[in-house]
Structure 1
Amino acid sequence: MEIADLPIPPDLAASYARRGITELYPPQAACVEAGLLLGKNLLIAIPTASGKTLVAEMAMHHQVERGGKCLYIVPLRALASEKFEEFSGKGLRVGIATGDLDRRDDYLGRNDIIVATSEKVDSLLRNRTPWLAEITLLVLDEVHLIDDPSRGATLEMVVAKLRHKNPAMQIIALSATIGNPGDLAGWLDAELVESDWRPVDLREGVFFQNGIQFADHNREVGRRSKYEDLDLVLDTVEEGGQCLVFVSSRKNAEAFAKRAASGLKLANPTLAGYADKIRSNAGTDMGRILAACVAQGAAFHHAGLAREERQIVEAGFREGEIKVIASTPTLAAGLNLPARRVIVRDYLRFNAGEGMVPIPVREYRQMAGRAGRPHLDPYGEAVLIAKSEEMVGELFDCYIDAPAEDVRSQCANEAVLCTHILSLIATNFARETGEVLRFMDGTFYAHCGESPRALARAVDRVLEFLREAEMITEVGEWLEPTEYGSLVSRLYIDPRSAEVIVTAMTGRKEYTDIGLLQLLCSTPDMLTLYVRRNDMYLLDRFLADHRDELWMEIPWDAGEGFDRSLKTALLLLDWANEVGEDTICERYNVGPGDVYGVVESVAWLVHASRHLARLFAPHLAGPIEEMELRTKHGIKKELLPLIRLRGIGRVRARRLFNNGLESLEALRAAGPEKVGKVIGQKIAAQVFEQLEGVRDEIEEVGEEQATLFRFG
């Protein structure tokens, strides 16, 4: 099927022609034949790199040309940014929504396409954002993640709410291969388009004793080192390809990257430039090790890296300069980084309470799907490594020839239901118990025939909790949100978190930094750090001197949960007291990316607790607001006046303060020339524009200043 024959806007057709796309792939043509451009709902379950995004893009442009508006939902912020860039510059107005979760963001309604995470869309629904009623096409990227235990229920409820709000809306759902696509298609009233066609042939095999066994042939891999996994990498690179190696842990990723770097021993000015960029940003041993690996053509990639480090690694790999990335499975889930050969070295992973367990088939498929770069590789290879001859057959049976698992709803989980039922009541989607249950009839859970009695019992228990917490009241048979309940719903925090915070605040006379931080780190919403045996000395020593500063009683049977909350709170306290990044990472045995994740996780809870304090403990609202800025920027209280200036971050504010420029008045008195000697003339000029433009009230810093390790 030719692009020129399709009823799509000329601007879009021209952009495809510039990229050399003149003909649809067979699965894309099947989508058009199934009614893609006729407003039909489709569930598209085709392999990675088979053109799912182009299908969605054609449908969006077709809708906009007819006066419609499109919402593209993704699971990850990084993926939202990637899609925003991909859709921009093709004749339509594109917006992105991933930020604050208590804003309506009405301005986004000016756009033709809005890219957002499911959590952001959920918050927009809770805050009654008007433009959501104008959506005529909903695209669900990675819809199979509806069975993710932590986030799947949010996606499911968002889809149910949007369908309730816009019943005529077209839905295009993009999925990996799953075991029960018919169930998902049935729930969405969608035509199922399935295919195993790929633009690059995928060869799947198992490596054992210097050879890869494929279904129809074997391939010998010569010995080049004393490590079999390294031999597989060197074999690929010698043939002009690149490798992704998936391992079970960060430690293993770093160890393999060092091994690959010593085996490759590449050196050129481009690699040296990447390494220098990483070194210039690196404040940790991890960053310095990464730079050394990249200089020789290898890298590791995991969530512990700083954002800038991950971006440099990804760019170097896309340019073909970095030849191998050793990664945890996070890379397979989100980013489009194909390679000639994908090596799944570790197919067992540690799960708390279970020990080492096999990865799911769907996760293996996600990794294997990265094999083969369209238009660059003649084929792609996905290779598992067997440790014995018996395991060769087992790996074929358990992964290569195995069907993918079914996706299952997560909506029966009471902990998850709590926040969503409160939002249904607070936003008038449901006003009595029967309406709540009828709304739930529109979920994937109900469609799959899961136990309606179990769901009804779970709903009853959730409603009882919300009544006891005074987040809802009953007026006759009607359920009404209280001021407290409406606030919790708008703030987009778990009602259980709100109850923990409010209980601790009520009656408290004095504020302490560690009391607030440890409280927030004890809530269900908070990401906390793993506690190692050698962390206990630090925790015990702190408790010996500061136990009275905590807002929560230490339970007599305090276990891992309390230890994790305290360790995380101490890291945040160090961050807010300007302890250096390298020191924090070493003290708590974490990477820069972990620090970023914890700061990002707590920032919203501090913001929410400030609003809750205004309602229940007004005397605490002021110091909590100060801590909100301190945790956001990593600064002591004394820098708060300076940090409110645009262009002044953690590093520049400290430089100014240490040079005696401690306030806005001091800056004005010093003049641009003196200030410029401290922070540079260009930034000084920007500062004085603000000082002259607004003398009494300095505009608060924008979202762009929150990037964690790029201050100054």
Structure 2
Amino acid sequence: MQIQDLAIPDTLKQQYLGQGIRELYPPQATCIEKGLLDGRNLLVAIPTASGKTLIAEMTMHRHIAAGGKCLYIVPLKALASEKYDEFGNKGVRVGISTGDLDRRDDALGRNDIIVATSEKVDSLLRNSARWMPEITLVVVDEVHLIDSPDRGPTLEMVIAKMRSRNPGMQLIGLSATIGNPKMLAGWLDAELVTSSWRPVDLRQGVFYDNRIQFEEGTRPIKQVSKNYDDLNLCLDTIAEGGQCLVFVSSRRNAEAFAKRAAGAIKSENPALAGCADRLQAGTPTEMIKTLAACVAKGAAFHHAGLSRNERSIVEEAFRKGWLKCISSTPTLAAGLNLPARRVIIRDYLRFSAGEGMQPIPVSEYRQMAGRAGRPRLDPYGEAVLIAKEAEQVPELFECYIEAAADDVHSQIAEPTALYTHVLSLIASGFVATRSELSEFMNRSFYVHEHKQGRLIHRAVDEALQFLIAAEMVVEVGEHIGATELGTLVSRMYIDPRSASAIVTTLREQETYADLGLVQLICSTPDMPTLYAKNADLAALSRMLEVRGADLWLPLPTDEDEAEAYYRGIKTAMLLSDWTDELPEEKICERYGVGPGDVYGMVESINWLLHATSQLARMFAPKFYPQIAECEICMKNGIRRELLPLIRLRGIGRVRARRLFNNGITSPEDILKHKKEELTMILGQGIADQVLEQLQPKKRDTDEKTSIDGEMPAAGQSTLLRFG
């Protein structure tokens, strides 16, 4: 099927033809035949790299040409950024929204395509974004993640809400190969397109005794290292001119392999030296120093402990062909389009709490294997598992290479997931009676899959009882409605259990303490926490002795609850060090984390602190000013004494401290000093910028900080700033 013959805008046709795309891949052609451009719902379950993005793009441009608006839903922020850049090069207006879960983002409605995570779309629905009724097409990327215990319930509810609100819209679900696509397609009222076709041939095999056993035959691998099979496989690919991805089970393993690979590759590419310099210009932790040293020699590691900037430097160098290999945890396979000639799945066992080492699921193997083969660059792609013993070779073939794809199942019946989603349905006006709530849940994937749905209705009743007891929902006869508290909790996008714990504790407290507040938030279901190892217990116990008076939650008597308590305390200690202005590299060293972990913790608690300040305004107004100040301190990583300075543009935690240590403690103090003095402290550019802000004629008299008892409006929070 020729691009020239398709019913898509001429401008898009010309762009495709200019890129050398003249004919559709077979799965893409099947989508056209099934009604893709005629408004039919489609579930497209095909392998990675077989052209799913083009399918979405053609449909979106068709809708835009007809005056429609498109919503593209992704599971991860990194993937949202990638799609935003990709779609923005096609001559239409593209918006992206992944943060601030309490905003309507009405300005997004000016765009033709809105790219957002499923959590953000759920938040936009809760906050009644005005442009939502204008959506004529929803594309759900990685729709098989409806099976994820973490993201699945939200994704399922977003799909159900969008179909309820915009019944005439078209829905396209894009997925990797799944075991029960007819079941999912039936729920979506969608035509099903499945295929095993790939633009680059995928060869899957198992390595043992210096050779790869493929289904088609064997291939010997030169032994360079006597001890490391993964390194031999990697160097074999590089010798052929290819690149390699190596998937391992932990960050430590990823870093260890990158060091070995760098020592063997020994690249002298000056472009890589530049990448290493960029990495070292950031937070100078030992981990980043190691990464920079590896990158300079042609290898890298990639995991969630890296900051977004550090990950992007690695990804860019790999896409340009400078880096020869990346070792990674499976997060890389889940998020980014980063293919390589050979993918090595070294670790197919992963530690699971309470269960020990367990095999990874087939779906995860397929996701990693699907990264093998770069279209138009590689003649083939190889996905290779490594066996430790001869008898494991047939086992790995049976368990992964020859195994059927995993089925996907609804996760919405999990009671903890239903607390937040039942409240959302009531507070957003989707349902107003118990019967309407029951009817809405009957349209879920869970009920479509299980027919009877008794379990989910029982779980819904339990969630409703909790919400009524927590004073978030009221019931009068058959009618149910959200209270002011319930509406706020839904719009702030926090778990009702978190909100209930926060409100209860705020009401009980007589005195305020930042550490007590942070500890409280770190004990909620919404807050990710650090793992508390046995080696940490001595330091945690000392902290309880020294700072116990500032803590709001006592050590539980139940030993089963003690682990979660210590995790919360350890996380609160890290965040306390952050606001105490401990350098990032010291925090990373002290807690054994990476810069990405620190940013993630700060980002999570920023959102929860903002929600807590709004709850305090309603239920504990005496604490509101302190909590509002704590929020700004946490966002910027500063002590309270720097609050007057941090509101100046260009002044972050480092420059504010520099000013303070030179006796300049407020904006007014700045005007008392000569420009030359400020230049010595801040540098000429920043000094000029600060002085310009403080000119009387340009001063924004409405700008206030929380010192005046004012809070930034929702969505206008100060961003993390460094330098």
Q: Quick check: TM above 0.5?
A: yes
Per-residue deviation at 1:704? 11
Distance in 2 of aligned mates of 1:474 and 1:414: 20
| SS state at 1:235 partner | helix
Equivalent residues in 2 for 1:538-553, closer than 5 Å: 538-553=539-554
For residue 703 of structure 2, what is the aligned residue in structure 1? 698
AA in 1 matched with 2:660: F
Using the TM superposition, give the Cα deviation of residue 29 of structure 1 relative to its aligned residue in structure 2, in angstroms.
1.1
Tell me the secondary structure at the aligned position of residue 694 of structure 2: helix
Change in CA separation of 1:696 and 1:158 when aligned onto 2, cut-off 3 Å: same
Aligned mates of 2:353, 2:402 — CA distance in 1: 28
- Conserved 8 A contact 1:649-1:705: no
Residue 15 of structure 2 aligns with an amino acid whose one-letter code is S
Q: Is residue 299–residue 322 contact of structure 1 (8 Å, CA) maintained in 2?
A: yes
Between 447-456 and 121-130, report the one with greater CA deviation: 447-456
Task: Assess if the C-alpha contact under 8 Å between 2:79 and 2:335 holds in 1.
Answer: yes
What amino acid is the match of 1:694? R
| Structure 1 residue 609: Cα displacement | 0.3
2:392 pairs with 1:403? no
Shift of 1:509: 2.1
| Cα distance in 2, alignment partners of residues 690 and 509 from structure 1 | 40
Identity over aligned residues, as a percent?
A: 63
Does residue 639 of structure 2 align to residue 628 of structure 1? no
Which residue matches 1:615? 618
Report deviation, 1:669: 2.9
Q: Which amino acid aligns with 1:696?
A: T
Match of 1:320 in 2: 321
Q: What's the counterpart of residue 367 of structure 2?
A: 366
After TM superposition, the structure 1 = structure 2 runs for residues 327-346 of structure 1, keeping only pairs within 5 Å, are 327-346=328-347
Aligned ranges for residues 296-445 of structure 1 at < 5 Å?
296-445=297-446
Q: Which of 411-420 and 442-451 deviates more?
A: 442-451
1:672 and 1:523 map into 2 onto residues whose CA distance is 48
User: 2:319, 2:704 → 1: CA distance?
Assistant: 39
Once the two structures are overlaid, the 10-residue window that deviates more, 72-81 or 693-702, is 693-702
| Residues in 1 aligned to 2:444 and 2:689: alpha-carbon distance in whole angstroms | 52
The residue number in structure 2 matching 1:604 is 607
Q: Secondary structure at the match of 2:616?
A: helix
Matched, 1:663 2:674: no
Query: What is aligned with 2:579?
Result: 576
TM-score under structure 1 normalisation? 0.98
1:154 matched residue in structure 2: 154
Distance (whole Å) between structure 2 residues aligned to residue 3 and residue 457 of structure 1 = 51
1:711 alignment partner in structure 2:
722
Q: Following TM superposition, by how much is the alpha carbon of 1:297 offset from its aligned partner in structure 2, in angstroms?
A: 0.6
Unaligned regions of 5+ residues in structure 2, if any?
A: 706-711
User: How many residues end up aligned between the 2 structures?
Assistant: 711
Return the offset for 1:486.
0.8
Aligned-partner Cα distance in 2 for 1:490–1:261: 48
Secondary structure, aligned partner of 1:506: helix
- State the shift of 1:706 in Å: 6.7
For 1:334, give the aligned amino acid: G
Deviation at 1:682, TM superposition (A): 2.3
Q: Are 1:282 and 1:288, in contact at CA under 8 Å, matched by a contact in 2?
A: no
The residue number in structure 2 matching 1:480 is 481
Taking the aligned partners of 2:508 and 2:621, their CA distance within structure 1 comes to 11
**Contact between 1:245 and 1:324, CA under 8 Å: does it hold in 2?**
yes
Match of 2:494 in 1: 493
Distance 2:152 2:294 in 1: 36
1:152-231 alignment runs, 5 A limit: 152-226=152-226, 227-231=228-232
CA contact (8 A) 1:70 1:135 kept: yes
1:396-445: CA deviation from partner (whole Å, max 9, x where unpaired):
00000001111111110110000000011111111111111100111111
AA paired with 1:182? Answer: K
Write the distance in 2 (CA, Å) between the matches of 1:611 and 1:391. 57
Which segment drifts farther, 332-341 or 694-703?
694-703
Alignment of 1:54-203 (within 5 A): 54-203=54-203
| SS of alignment partner, residue 8 of structure 2 | coil
Partner AA of 2:581 in structure 1: E
Question: Deviation per CA, 1:522-581, whole angstroms, max 9, x where unpaired?
Answer: 000010001112211210111011112111232112521001000000000000110111
TM-score normalised by the chain length of structure 2: 0.96
More moved, 70-79 vs 21-30: 21-30
Is the 8 Å Cα contact of residues 249 and 347 (structure 2) preserved in structure 1? yes
4+ long deviations beyond 4 Å:
699-708
- Partner of 1:304: helix, strand, or coil? coil
Offset, 1:672: 4.5
What is the letter of the counterpart of residue 118 of structure 1? S
Offset from partner CA, 1:589-609 (integer Å, 9 cap, x none): 111111111111111110000
Within 5 Å, which residues of 2 pair with 1:219-298?
A: 219-226=219-226, 227-298=228-299
Give the distance between the partners of 1:482 and 1:426, measured in 2 at CA: 8
Distance between the aligned counterparts of 2:125 and 2:700, measured in 1? 38
Mapped partners of 2:154, 2:134: distance in 1 = 21
- Shift in CA distance, 322/143, structure 1 to aligned 2, threshold 3 Å: same
Q: Deviations over 1:311-367 (max 9, x none)?
A: 111111111111010100000000111000000000000111111100000100000
Partner in structure 2 of residue 559 of structure 1: 562
1:4: how far off? 1.3
